[in-house]
């Protein structure tokens, strides 16, 4: 989720769930080696647990990226073998690597040699004309043999030509049963599922079979569902959301961002999906999406946006509400 799950987004999501595993945007190994490391790898300590998602296909470069990242304290390193975007394909990483599982196998084995935290893989069930039922078992066997600590499976093929990244999230049919079969055949391996999961009711159903559930755009566009993750997925005692704390934490965070040269909307753009279905949510969105872009606006605008919502009244409409695990990508 490039340009979505940056450190501002992750700080916000952490205010809503203490337990969900948060993922960074995908960062290319070459960028870490040659680019602005602090900008690419730094994160707030409050974000833990957080996984660094890497892109790449050269074992030596990925090893160097893992070594560099080890100083930053991530809880997991994830290799992305699922992204179908054109720029990922041009760099020969992401979903196109499903066509060369031996390359991914070598990458994971090399990363495991130097990593001090779990190394995981996020993949598709196949790409293009591949027969997923033949490709996926072999791919998983290679990842397991290379030492992958967990494998997250997006239950759709990726079509590398002819479909946009958005279409690749919607048009290829979901095959949950194939992913379930992979779990039944690999009972001792952590396998998580991703793709088309829009609420926690669906997540709980998947967790009857799978070890983990990954929520991407669902947790971004309807961030309120994250407030139920700790209770429904991790079994913690139910307690009301302290919305005043969320509001004040985000105001304080935004003040630090603005003081360091950032803009308020760098933070608030990630907050627009909160309060789906609540009375006043439309005004809340208007405030954060339009007024937050004005020059010199104060972070106190966040308080104004919260005040527009009838929080006590709760959601008025049914909205898309993860060992078990939940991950927010």
Which residues are marked as active site?
83
How many angstroms separate the first and last alpha carbons of the chain? 7
Question: Per the annotation, does 156 bind a ligand?
Answer: no
Instruction: Compute the chain's Rg from CA coordinates.
Output: 20
Q: Is 122 annotated as a binding residue?
A: yes
| HEC string for 25-94 | EEEEHHHHHHCCHHHHHCCCHHHCCEEEEEECCCHHHHHHHHHHHHHHCCCEEEEEECCCCHHHHHCCCH
Is residue 270 within 8 Å of residue 12, measured between CB atoms? yes
Q: CB pairs under 8 A, 24+ apart, for 252-259? A: 253/8, 253/11, 253/12, 254/299, 254/302, 255/299, 257/8, 258/299
| Residue with tokens 């008025």, as numbered in its chain | 316
Q: Is 221 annotated as a binding residue?
A: no
Residue 53, marked binder: yes
Report whether 183 contacts 211 (CB < 8 A): yes
Is 192 annotated as contributing to ligand binding? no
Q: Answer yes or no: is 87 a known binding residue.
A: no
Binding site membership for FMN: which residues?
53, 122, 154, 194-196, 216-217
């Amino acid at each position: 989720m490039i340009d979505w799950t940056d450190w501002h987004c992750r700080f916000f999501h952490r205010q809503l769930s203490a337990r969900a595993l948060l993922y960074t945007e995908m960062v290319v190994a070459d960028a870490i080696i040659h680019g602005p490391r602090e900008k690419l790898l730094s994160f707030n300590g409050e974000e833990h647990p957080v996984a660094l998602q890497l892109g790449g296909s050269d074992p030596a470069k990925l090893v160097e990226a893992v070594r560099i990242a080890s100083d930053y304290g991530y809880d997991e390193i994830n290799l992305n073998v699922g992204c179908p975007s054109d720029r990922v394909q041009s760099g020969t990483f992401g979903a196109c690597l499903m066509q060369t599982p031996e390359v991914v196998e070598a990458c994971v084995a090399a990363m495991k040699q130097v990593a001090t935290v779990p190394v995981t893989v996020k993949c598709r069930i196949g790409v293009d004309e591949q027969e997923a039922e033949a490709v996926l078992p072999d791919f998983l066997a290679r990842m397991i043999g290379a030492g992958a600590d967990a494998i997250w499976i997006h239950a759709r093929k990726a079509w590398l030509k002819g479909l946009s990244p958005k279409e690749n999230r919607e048009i290829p049919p979901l095959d949950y049963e194939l992913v379930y079969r992979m779990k039944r055949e690999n009972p001792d391996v952590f396998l998580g599922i991703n793709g088309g999961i829009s609420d926690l009711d669906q997540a709980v159903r998947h967790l009857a079979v799978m070890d983990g559930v990954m929520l991407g755009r669902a947790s971004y566009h309807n961030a309120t569902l994250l407030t139920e993750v700790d209770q429904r997925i991790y079994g913690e005692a139910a307690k009301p959301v302290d919305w005043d704390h969320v509001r004040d934490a985000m105001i304080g965070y935004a003040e630090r961002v603005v003081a360091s040269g950032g803009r308020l909307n760098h933070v608030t753009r990630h907050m627009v999906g909160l309060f789906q279905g609540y009375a006043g949510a439309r005004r809340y969105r208007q405030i954060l999406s339009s007024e937050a872009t004005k020059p010199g606006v104060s972070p106190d605008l966040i308080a104004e946006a919260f005040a527009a919502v009838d929080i006590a009244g709760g959601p008025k409409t049914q909205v898309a509400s993860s060992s078990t695990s939940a991950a927010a990508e």
